[in-house]
Structure 1
Amino acid sequence: MLVVDDEDDLRELLEITLLKMGLDVDSAADLRHARALLAGADYDLVLTDMRLPDGLGLELVREIASSGRNTPVAVVTAFGSAENAVVALKAGAFDYVTKPLQLDQLRMMVQSALKLNTAHSPAAAPEPADSRLKGSSTAMQALRAQIARLARSMAPIAITGESGSGKELAAREIHAQSSRADKPFIAVNCGAIPEALMEAEFFGYRKGAFTGAADERDGFFQAANGGTLMLDEVADLPLPMQVKLLRAIQERRVRKIGATAEEPVDVRIVSATHQNLARCVEEGKFRQDLFYRLNVIELSLPPLRDRLDDLPVLIEAILARLSAAGGQKAVLGPGVLDALRSYSFPGNVRELENVLERALAFSNDGVIDVNDLSLKGAKLADAPAGAPVAPALTEVPGLSTAAVPGAMPAPPGERMPPLPDLAVLPSNLPAYLERVEREIIVRALQETQYNRTQAAQLLGISFRQLRYQMQKLGIQEPEG
């Protein structure tokens, strides 16, 4: 270890603490001496004060980071100087400790640094195939490389990306490649916790702290101690809770409800949201100081539509999981991959999983065809010749509107008239589309005397799709 500090007493305390941990220690009182030591030896950790007689410890952080060395650098900051800690982490520091020194926190930080060097030795480097983030596109290769770098730091990370793009998978990947991989990973959906219970859920409570507190309970911070705490949908946190969370992150200490003393916690924070946090700050919905504390490093996930080359790998992994769960092998029929490539996937990978799971339920003998996908807006016309394509709802032949309340009658044998232009847009689009879909299916059933097989053929969908839609929309066959 290399300790760089101009205060003799503090430097001696650090040396004694590290020696008791069984470590060899070199020390320097200024940048000049520290640079000379670094030129002649390799260190497992450099611990430097922020303010030194001949410059800032931040210079040392940047020099080591730019030199290509994998040496972790931690900084010592004054109490309450959270801004300095954030600047150091952004510059490439591994972690930080605050004055007055808490020796238990110092020991935990040193142990994390030693584990980091072991975890990232060449023999222990993970194979690319082990990654939770599938795909070989340029975007995914860059993302995995960035995650490998971020895993070496203890800096808070803010993961941004559209809903369903894999933010939790990215957080788990960061944890798995870090020195904390053998410690807990706790993921919390901030939008799913009632505001009245948030403090108890995050920090825990003592027995008898409030009505119903029959036993002492740890919170999320204690459960993730030594590991990683992921705050999903962090933008949904109410402002009062944001204040308490900011203090816990800065001081690395929490107080249970009903307790009189704080307890130290060693937790790396990874936050995620599909919202624009900077805009939330401008609108007064999110505290600016908490934003800067969480957004030390930003990791942006690409949407699926920007990496459609990864579809084959993703589909293979999803179908393998579905096949194992259902005990039936699933394969893609002709034109299915082209149809999926023509779709924009607003719900990203999560929507792809849902589409394939639904299609497998509609499929015959596990063979998924284009009609089983039920994609809205995809260019299904690009499917190869011979593949059945569902007709548009406005062009279903042979449907009359008899016996449908409120529908205009159409002569038998003629095509269904197109939907009328809307003079006023519907106030509830999902409910309007559901009503239109229900009317179309009821008309098809009435035209075929409720013969589901014929009605499905008339609508250009599979029998299973028709049955699924009837159940979803609550369409019942008339008795007798």
Structure 2
Amino acid sequence: MTDPERVLVVDDEPSIGEVLKIVLSKEGYEVVTSERGSEALEIVKSNPVDCVIQDLKMPGMDGITLLSELKKLHPRVPVIIITAFSSWDTAVEAMRLGAYDYIKKPFDNDAIRAVVARALEQKRIAELPGAEKAEIRDIVGSSPRVIALQEMVKRIAATDATVLVRGDSGVGKELVARALHQNSLRNSGPFISVNCGAFTENLLESELFGHVKGSFTGAVSDKKGLFAVADGGTLFLDEVGDLSHATQVKLLRVLEERRFMPLGSTEEQAVDVRFITATNRNLPDLVASGDFREDLYYRLNVIPIEVPSLRERKDDIPLLAGHFLRRHSSAMRKDVVNISESAMKTLLSYDWPGNVRELDNIIQRAVAFATSGLIEEVDLHGAAVRKSPVRISLPPTGVDLVETLEDIESAYITEALNMTGGNLTRAAELLGMTFRSIRYKVKKLGIKKKDES
């Protein structure tokens, strides 16, 4: 029979230590308590522990110093912070120094049980023979900025800390969120992604919290919210800077209490979710202007990750282009295997306002237009990747610009439809259009597919 795992509780309030000892002993752990940081260090030195739960505000050695010393002695031992709201800034600093997670006072016994179980599971996995951090394969690049990003993801993936991913539109913020989930202990649970900017306030709250039948007009049945759907996994809230004030208040409560109430219900539900959020907006500026709650910002910004724009890492363009080329060539069943030197020069000279997403779309279209195994510069023409503005010569008699543009649109749409066998959805993707737009243009311009001609 193996020895029980050993948990050390460090808090200058004896009652806290006693409560945690009772709660965790019932789970089968051996619990040791201490009221001083210096004493806790001596305990760890004489008889190592498997997990530490510690307060931040203590007389003598403070919590941050204790955390630093514990990490020097036993880097793999998870340290869980219990903190009052007044010490929130220090709790954030503790997370950055390597704390596994934090629990706010007064704490919920179920929350303590859950976080200790996850922390010890992480420690057991890390200590398995040959255990290694997974590769972050989907974050493609070899530039210093990307290598630093990959290392950051590896380092924090296994923690349950809330992460705020920042960066311009199209840089791959959701890709980072997925990598964090896939390399975490929650990877067998769901990954739920929500674009907060795509919903009205009422609809977003219904999506997140769920509702009960009859809670509002149109609520004809109970609906499970995404907080509940994501239970045991990761919830990714994109464009979190677009949240209304009312929704910000409700999200803050979920982050603090790990509980929520479906719309129209009187019963709370516990939720075990890791929160990852993202934005392309400047949240400190929104806080300063009063458009974003300061307390929510601090809750979300426990671990910030900055994703660089493509123009800041142009050295990665050949690797990214090759990655997208292989993917789209395989998907389209085409034997396009390389990019010509002139085409690559064009890609490298472009400013990429749409970032990695734009490069992905352009390579997809270029693969579709390619007539050989090589993407040539001419194949990029339809993607509008140009080093400088197009120069044209206008006839003295002038032109009918509307008619000319319609002719160009018609030619491109016709070619895209022919290439995709008349599939409007795929043709729209090739041309960077929405399905509704291409359907409207086909009708307006009287475009016929080959089989209709």
- TM-score category by the smaller chain? 0.7 to 0.9
Query: Within 5 Å, which residues of 2 pair with 1:217-366?
Result: 217-334=223-340, 335-366=342-373
Q: Give the TM-score of the pair, scaled to structure 1.
A: 0.77
CA deviation map 1:222-251 (0-9, x unaligned): 112222211101111111111111111112
Q: What is the RMSD computed on CA atoms of the aligned residues? A: 3.1
Deviation, structure 1 residue 81: 6.2
Partner Cα distance (2:399, 2:317) in 1: 42
Aligned to 1:426: none
| 8 Å Cα contact 2:104-2:256 kept in structure 1 | no
Residue 277 of structure 2: SS of its match in structure 1? strand
Query: Within 5 Å, which residues of 2 pair with 1:3-402?
Result: 3-65=9-71, 69-78=75-84, 82=88, 85-121=91-127, 123-128=130-135, 130-334=136-340, 335-374=342-381, 376=384, 378-379=386-387, 392-395=390-393, 400=395
| 8 Å Cα contact 2:95-2:161 kept in structure 1 | yes
CA deviation map 1:301-349 (0-9, x unaligned): 1111222222232222212221222111223343222221122211111
Residue 235 of structure 2: SS of its match in structure 1? strand
Q: Which runs of 5+ in 1 are unaligned?
A: 381-390, 408-434, 446-451, 453-463
Counterpart AA for 2:379: D
Deviation, structure 1 residue 164: 0.9
Partner Cα distance (2:350, 2:85) in 1: 53
Per mean C-alpha deviation after superposition, the further-off stretch among 15-24 and 172-181 is 15-24
Counterpart AA for 2:283: L
Aligned to 2:405: 438
Counterpart AA for 2:354: G
Deviation, structure 1 residue 13: 2.8
CA deviation map 1:376-428 (0-9, x unaligned): 56448xxxxxxxxxx94324xxx7465834x8xxxxxxxxxxxxxxxxxxxxx
Partner Cα distance (1:224, 1:439) in 2: 47
Per mean C-alpha deviation after superposition, the further-off stretch among 46-55 and 26-35 is 46-55
Provide closer, same or farther for how the CA distance between residues 132 and 333 of structure 1 changes in structure 2, counting only shifts above 3 A.
closer
| 8 Å Cα contact 2:161-2:274 kept in structure 1 | yes
Provide closer, same or farther for how the CA distance between residues 468 and 146 of structure 1 changes in structure 2, counting only shifts above 3 A.
closer
| 8 Å Cα contact 2:169-2:280 kept in structure 1 | yes
| 8 Å Cα contact 2:53-2:79 kept in structure 1 | yes
Counterpart AA for 1:393: R
Counterpart AA for 1:345: W
Provide closer, same or farther for how the CA distance between residues 297 and 468 of structure 1 changes in structure 2, counting only shifts above 3 A.
closer
Aligned to 1:455: none
- State percent identity of aligned pairs: 40
Q: Give the TM-score of the pair, scaled to structure 2.
A: 0.82
Per mean C-alpha deviation after superposition, the further-off stretch among 304-313 and 241-250 is 304-313
Residue 327 of structure 1: SS of its match in structure 2? coil
Provide closer, same or farther for how the CA distance between residues 141 and 41 of structure 1 changes in structure 2, counting only shifts above 3 A.
farther
Deviation, structure 1 residue 127: 4.4
Deviation, structure 1 residue 360: 1.7
Q: Which runs of 5+ in 2 are unaligned?
A: 1-6, 416-426, 433-437, 448-453
Partner Cα distance (1:101, 1:284) in 2: 30
| 8 Å Cα contact 2:140-2:319 kept in structure 1 | yes
Counterpart AA for 1:404: V
The aligned length equals 413
